[in-house]
Structure 1
């Protein structure tokens, strides 16, 4: 199969299927939409850790983008779910905060043609199929400036599996160190972070990780 053959059509079909799946999740209020920033990211914002131009990958309805914009940061959110993006834009209009929301595949970040100082990821990476992770990391290399930081909030392997249920991948510390090795330096990984949800149950056990883009990322495939 060559690049001028059916591959682009297949990729377009895959992106469209992903978009339809995500829009379907927003047909009702999904569990991760809590109507406010995740406490772990809010604490980072208050500490001054979020700086410069900020990109939120898988931004949903925009809570973290609006949080950053409210701090005076240049904030952009990308997502494939049109339903979520429309809600995010409506929130920005009602709040009077200037923020940008783009319909974009997080596996193709390089296509943005922009550079950022901070990348936020609240619950996006753990949704990726492992086969899609290399494409995402290549995109991070393209958009995150050397010395820029990637902040990740994701499911931990300490969160029990629900029998018969499908959902986010539970990540181990080795997943964090091995997956991003050669591209990002793991500054810290807090295993006791909580991901708040809107269901009548305790929050999800998660990782809060901070990573710094290396000056010369190693070549990886």
Structure 2
């Protein structure tokens, strides 16, 4: 829908606070009432944007991961990581919408703006950790993590979907997310521009180091 495209463009030009229904109406040469007929309030539009963006991201990540067999734990981590960066570079406004500064004054609906997509991404990361656990267990089993170290809702979901997976593996899932999110955020926000001429090489090297740190062997560098 063009309204959503204009909203993301306004965000790209002026930050999250630039998204208003009146501003969108001006950009589209519409009356404010016409825009309100699609979205009764600005928060309804923000929720729809987040849901669309997050679902698109989840689809991209799952598709990339599932292109490789379940037994290729290292390859699936790399595929997920590369899909995450590629999607973010193609959708910088969407990335900032779901992972950047919150839209001023926005109140998400109860349960979150995109609970299904958020769950798919969270479960996907946990699945990557579960796939690596048999290799990583010897190094991470004694790290001292307990279920009380994590959010109760997350714990309940992990125990239901990955029965037998220990708390240390959940910590690995969060580590994987941190490695991916950290460098991509720096790149999207422009902080790497004067630091490296080859952010892709830096990113892949970092993911390769993470994979080796989990006791895995990467058989390809091109997912």
**Could you say which structure has the higher helix fraction?**
2
TM-score exceeds 0.5: no
Q: Which structure has the bigger radius of gyration?
A: 2
Q: Structure with the greater relative contact order (CA < 8 A, sep ≥ 6): 1 or 2?
A: 2
TM-score (norm 1): 0.31
**Could you say which structure has the higher strand fraction?**
1
